Amino acid sequence: MPGCNIVLIGASTGGLKILEQLFPELPVLKAAVVVVQHITPLVDQSFASSLARVSRMPVSLAKEGQHLQAGQVFLAPGGVHLLLAGNRSFHFSSAEKVNSVRPSIDVAMKSVLAPIGTRIAGVVLTGMGCDGAAGIAHIKQIGGITIAQDQKTSVIYGMPKAAAETGKVDFVLSTDKIAVKLRELFG
């Protein structure tokens, strides 16, 4: 039996601003939306609350062992790596930082398995560095759809640029066009 569709979004510097622009434009998607934001444990709950105020979908911090559900947004808690166990539930790891961060977008994206009867999309938004580039390449390799934010709408164009430079990004889009594409794919 297939699981649910998954949209995995990675963001860092400027992420809250961009996500607060993106989420009001999204209907309740036929996918579980997993957000990996470079964040600390001290601010993760307030970050989730800020997103919940602008989202049509319920937003919560992901919990160990919790199952993904379509039409819901799950935020990776600060200070731990989030992994998707069998594309169905969350598992956390306090392994070493990857790309100098924990949670790492690459760790989450690389934990995704090839979709069977479902659709997977990876999205890399604003941020410094290259976290998300290896993850985007992995998602493309297993048959997923890959999106990077464009330079014009990024607060910092490091991570989306690194993702685009892998040659594995299907769409480089502005924030509003990312919302349009996600509605097309999962609306």
Catalytic status, residue 106: no
Residue of 38, 55, 111, 138 marked catalytic: 38
Residue of 12, 104, 111, 154 marked catalytic: 12
Which among 119, 142, 127, 176 has a CA at the least distance from the CA of 3? 119
Which among 92, 81, 164, 70 has a CA at the least distance from the CA of 125? 164
Residue of 55, 106, 111, 131 marked catalytic: 131
Catalytic status, residue 138: no
Catalytic status, residue 60: no
Residues taking part in catalysis: 12, 38, 131
